[in-house]
Amino acid sequence: MKFSKLNLELLFFVTSVFANSPIGFGNKATGGEGGVEYHVNTFKELINALDNNGNPTAPKIIYIDSPMNGLIDENGKEITAEDLVPGYSFQKYLECFSNDGLQWFDTDECNKIENLRKQGTPIQEKYTKAIIPSNTSIIGSGDNTQLEEVSLNINNADNVVIKNLSI
């Protein structure tokens, strides 16, 4: 029994000493430690900070200081699907399905709406998709820092730290 108690005490000691350190496969990640620091409030500012003055893979720490919505323009206006692709209507798109949502109505009007929807996807990504390069930390500054209509794409990147965000 003494051995079990000793192991338990050792576990509590190790846990308390390393409680603020990353554990697991990311325990050596430093993100943008030592790099340029940015404070951003809009999606456009986030994209500019990720570019890091033309050196995107150099270390950088990006603090997101307020809730962010990728589909809100610089003037505070919501960007709708209809704004992105003139002629598209989400309501008309919904009407192209049966009431239970299981059947698509294969009509000329519905096919036109579907083609417009497909055209809108890459356009929408310009407003919502952030490609995260290596050596980047993205940190929410407050308790209510959240990202809406924002996609963080971490692909072929090393040493990325993201914390304190509601997504």
Q: What is the pLDDT of residues 144-153, one digit of tens each?
A: 789 999 999 9
Q: pLDDT band for position 37 (50/70/90)?
A: very high
CA distances from residue 110 to 82, 96, 106, 118, 119 in whole angstroms, order as listed: 16, 6, 6, 12, 14
Task: Give the per-residue pLDDT at 74.
Answer: 80
Cβ neighbours of 2 (radius 10 Å): 6
**What is the band of 142 on the pLDDT scale with cuts at 50, 70, 90?**
confident
Hey, where are the domains in the chain?
A: 2-163
pTM of the model: 0.76
Please report how many Cα atoms fall inside a 13 Å half-sphere around the Cα of residue 104, on the Cβ side: 10
Instruction: Note whether 33 and 59 are within 8 A (CB).
Output: yes
Nearest to 46 by CA among 116, 160, 165, 150: 150
Average pLDDT, the chain: 86
**Rounded distance between C-alpha atoms, residue 163 and residue 130, angstroms:** 16
Question: Roughly how many angstroms between the first and final C-alpha of the chain, as a whole number?
Answer: 46
DSSP states of 61-83 as a string?
EEEE-S-EETTB-TTSPBPPHHH
Token output for 145: 């820092």
Give the tens place of pLDDT for each residue, 89-125. 999 999 999 999 999 999 999 999 999 999 998 999 9
CATH no., domain 2-163: 2.160.20.10
Q: In the chain, pLDDT over 70 holds for what percent of residues? A: 85
Of all residues in the chain, what percent carry a pLDDT higher than 90?
A: 71
Per-residue confidence band for 143, with pLDDT thresholds at 50, 70 and 90 = confident
